[in-house]
């Protein structure tokens, strides 16, 4: 190997460095995650002159918050915590073709009315971006396009133009000539993110970074990428379905549980103002095994339809299937029903599905899953105007959940007449009138309702 060059092995999951290849990462304990990167040793005397660091007292730090930049897309602003924070670095991840570039181009369309925006693409040509923009409507001249992957050239353009918002599509295509590895490698992704972080903090520019995801659903590249940015947004949904969910999994400026719901149309992504009504459209009438439950995503209650199908098994090993919720949680609840409620489900196949393809893992939907299973097992339909929520414990008790008043208010707004909820949460729901509240303590009381 040439003098001055050596090989370093990086863990793609956590960014841990080793001098040799290892089968298991000693830091995160993941297997087969080490990749080889060739790095060039710094030349003697090449170090920059260090400037003296300034120490500031905590009492001398100003707490005046800068005004957030509103995108006028309410679903986007909600997930970001109220708008774009100047000088923030936001990572947007998602499956290929899910709509990441479309969403960010729509944000550019809204903000280009008054601000200068720079859209940097390393994957599409100018003509391709123009074709996608034509479907969305007119754009102002404040939107500037740059098709480039060289990090040094991109940095010089940003420092010269000083736009108020920059979109990088995508981080895996950017490369620095100072790093001797291919674009998309661990070293290149880490170096590129570090450069954009310095630009965002130093110049006060808000930067959005598009990140590819692996087959496991995480952002490709080193895990340290998500630690470096201020906000991590995941764009979820089925490519063959029309709806999309934007979920915040990290946010230094707001809640990490907020979601935004969009619908993919010919002219781009449209906001879904009332996702509960959208999720409940097309519900079957007088059908057993179908119940409406309420789940909280951040501060937003969402009503979902839980479907269950329990039928006699033809094999010695009954089959269990869960779509949209945790498979192990369904098995746990079926064991509780068999032990505490006396239902003999060991010889029955069970299929649980959350309609619409949405994924929910909140414990508050436990009671909805239990009622759907009982309804299908006994072949008794549940009242269409009834909604349920509550956590079920291993002793068969129905435990309290957070924000019960907001859940009941959302149910009343959509026309539901009866709400089954934990007895301990019933006293907390005092400000909502016009809906009948049924408090339950155990799943045996739920059986009596059916």
Domain stop point among 245, 273, 301: 273
Known binding residue 435? Answer is no
Q: How many CA atoms lie within 13 A of 34 on its CB side?
A: 19
**What does the pLDDT read at residue 5?**
59
Known binding residue 237? Answer is no
Is residue 137 very low, low, confident or very high in pLDDT (cuts 50, 70, 90)? confident
User: Are residues 368 and 326 both part of a single domain?
Assistant: yes
User: Are residues 266 and 282 both part of a single domain?
Assistant: no
Domain stop point among 212, 247, 273: 273
User: Are residues 205 and 285 both part of a single domain?
Assistant: no
pLDDT above 80 for 238: no
Known binding residue 64? Answer is no
Known binding residue 365? Answer is no
211 Cβ contact partners less than 8 Å away, ≥ 6 residues apart: 91, 92, 93, 170, 171, 172, 219, 220, 221, 225
105 domain-assigned: yes
Known binding residue 93? Answer is no
**What does the pLDDT read at residue 49?**
53
CB 346 within 8 A of CB 318: yes
Digit-coded pLDDT (tens) for 297-331: 878 899 999 999 999 998 888 999 999 999 999 99
Digit-coded pLDDT (tens) for 244-279: 889 899 999 888 878 898 988 888 899 988 888 878
User: Are residues 110 and 254 both part of a single domain?
Assistant: yes
**What does the pLDDT read at residue 60?**
82
The answer to which of 216-220, 241-245, 253-257 has the lowest mean pLDDT is 216-220
User: Are residues 332 and 219 both part of a single domain?
Assistant: no
Q: Identify which of 340, 342, 377, 366 has the alpha carbon closest to the alpha carbon of residue 420.
A: 366
Digit-coded pLDDT (tens) for 6-54: 778 888 777 788 888 999 988 888 888 888 877 665 554 444 555 677 8
**What does the pLDDT read at residue 224?**
73
CB 320 within 8 A of CB 353: no
User: Are residues 269 and 288 both part of a single domain?
Assistant: no
When the pLDDT of each residue in the chain is averaged and rounded to a whole number, the result is: 88
180 domain-assigned: yes
47 domain-assigned: no
220 domain-assigned: yes
Is residue 190 very low, low, confident or very high in pLDDT (cuts 50, 70, 90)? confident
User: Are residues 76 and 147 both part of a single domain?
Assistant: yes
User: Are residues 112 and 167 both part of a single domain?
Assistant: yes
The rounded distance, in Å, linking the Cα atoms of 421 and 381 is: 19
**What does the pLDDT read at residue 46?**
45
User: Are residues 380 and 363 both part of a single domain?
Assistant: yes
pLDDT above 80 for 410: yes
User: Are residues 130 and 224 both part of a single domain?
Assistant: yes
| CATH code of the domain in which 207 resides | 3.40.50.300
Known binding residue 99? Answer is yes
Mean pLDDT of 209-232: 77
Number of domains in the chain: 3
User: Are residues 36 and 183 both part of a single domain?
Assistant: no
Q: Tell me, letter by letter, the H, E, C secondary structure of the chain.
A: CCCCEEEEEEECCCCCEECCCCCECCCCCCECCEEEEEEECCCCCCCCCCCCCCCCCHHHCCCCCCCCECCCCHHHHHHHCCCECCCCEEEEEECCCCCHHHHHHHHHHHHCCCCCEEEEECCCCHHHHHHHHHCCCCCCCCEEEEECCEHHHHHHHHHHHCCCEEEEECHHHCECCCCCCCCCCHHHHHHHHHHHHHHHHHHCCEEEEEECECCCCCECCCCHHHHHCCEEEEEECCCCCCEEEEEEEEECCCCCCCEEEEEEECCEEEECCCHHHHHCCCCCCCCCCEEEEEEEECCEEEEEEEEEEEEECCCCCCCEEEECCCHHHHHHHHHHHHHHCCCCCCCEEEEEEECCCCCCCCHHHHHHHHHHHHHHHHCCCCCCCEEECCEECCCCEEECCCCHHHHHHHHHHCCCCEEEEEHHHHCCCCCCCCCEEEEECEHHHHHHHC
Domain enclosing residue 30, as ranges: 5-40
Phi first, then psi: what are they for 77, rounded to 5°? -65, -35
Digit-coded pLDDT (tens) for 225-237: 888 899 999 988 7
415 domain-assigned: yes
| CATH code of the domain in which 366 resides | 3.30.230.10
Domain stop point among 221, 238, 273: 273
Digit-coded pLDDT (tens) for 80-136: 998 999 999 999 998 888 889 999 999 999 999 889 999 999 989 999 999 999 988
Digit-coded pLDDT (tens) for 332-373: 999 999 999 999 998 999 999 998 778 888 999 999 999 999
53 domain-assigned: no
Is residue 216 very low, low, confident or very high in pLDDT (cuts 50, 70, 90)? low
Known binding residue 383? Answer is no
90 domain-assigned: yes
pTM: 0.77
User: Are residues 301 and 394 both part of a single domain?
Assistant: yes
Known binding residue 96? Answer is yes
55 domain-assigned: no
């Amino acid at each position: 190997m040439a003098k001055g060059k050596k090989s370093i092995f990086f863990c793609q999951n956590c960014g841990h460095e080793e001098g040799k290849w290892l089968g298991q990462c000693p830091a995160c304990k993941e297997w087969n995650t080490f990749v080889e990167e060739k790095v060039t040793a710094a030349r003697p005397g090449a170090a920059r002159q260090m400037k003296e660091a300034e120490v500031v007292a905590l009492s001398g730090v100003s707490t005046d918050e800068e005004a957030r930049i509103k995108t006028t897309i309410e679903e986007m602003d909600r997930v970001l915590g109220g708008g774009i924070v100047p000088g923030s670095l936001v990572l947007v991840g998602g499956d290929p073709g899910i709509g990441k570039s479309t969403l960010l181009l729509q944000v550019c369309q809204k903000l280009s009315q008054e601000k200068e925006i720079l859209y940097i693409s390393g994957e599409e040509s100018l003509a391709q971006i123009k074709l996608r923009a034509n479907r969305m409507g007119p754009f102002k001249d404040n939107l500037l396009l740059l098709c480039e992957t060289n990090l040094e050239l991109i940095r010089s353009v940003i420092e010269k133009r000083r736009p108020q918002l920059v979109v990088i599509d995508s981080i895996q295509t950017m490369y620095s000539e100072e790093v001797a590895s291919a674009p998309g490698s661990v070293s290149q992704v880490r170096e590129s993110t570090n450069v954009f972080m310095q630009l965002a903090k130093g110049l006060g520019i808000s930067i959005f970074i598009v990140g590819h995801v692996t087959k496991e659903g995480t952002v490709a590249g080193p895990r340290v990428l998500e630690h470096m940015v201020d906000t991590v947004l995941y764009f979820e949904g089925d490519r063959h379905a029309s709806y999309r969910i934007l979920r915040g999994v990290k946010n230094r400026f707001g809640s990490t549980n907020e979601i935004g719901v969009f619908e993919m149309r010919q002219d781009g992504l449209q906001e879904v103002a009332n996702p509960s009504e959208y999720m409940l459209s097309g519900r079957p009438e007088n059908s057993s095994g179908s119940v409406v439950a309420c789940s909280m995503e951040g501060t937003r209650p969402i009503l979902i339809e839980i479907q269950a199908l329990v039928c006699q098994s033809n094999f010695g090993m009954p089959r269990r299937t869960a779509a949209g919720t945790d498979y192990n949680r369904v098995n746990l609840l079926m064991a509780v029903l068999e032990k505490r409620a006396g239902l003999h489900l060991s010889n029955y196949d069970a299929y649980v599905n959350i309609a619409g393809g949405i994924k929910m893992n909140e414990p508050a939907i436990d009671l909805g899953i239990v009622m759907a299973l009982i309804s299908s097992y006994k072949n008794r339909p549940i009242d269409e105007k009834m909604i349920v929520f509550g956590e079920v414990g291993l002793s068969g008790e129905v435990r309290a959940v957070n924000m019960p008043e907001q859940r009941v208010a959302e149910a009343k707004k959509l026309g539901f007449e009866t709400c089954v909820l934990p007895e301990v949460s019933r006293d907390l729901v005092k400000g909502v009138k016009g809906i009948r509240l049924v408090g339950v303590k155990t799943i045996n009381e739920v059986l009596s309702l059916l």
